Structure 1
Amino acid sequence: MRTTVDLPEDLLQEAKLRAARKRVTVSAVIEDAMRMAFARDAPAATNIVTLPTYGEGGLRPGVSLDDNSALLDIMEGIE
Structure 2
Amino acid sequence: MEDEYKIGKIRMERERAFQEFDAKIIQFLSNGETIPDEWKLYGQSLRDMTKDLDTVSINPNTRTIEVKLPTKPE
The verdict on a shared fold, with TM-score over 0.5 as the criterion, is no
In terms of fraction of residues, the more strand-rich structure is 2
Using the size of structure 1 for normalisation, the TM-score is: 0.24
In terms of fraction of residues, the more helix-rich structure is 2
Higher relative contact order (CA 8 A, sep 6+): 2
- Structure with higher Rg: it is 1
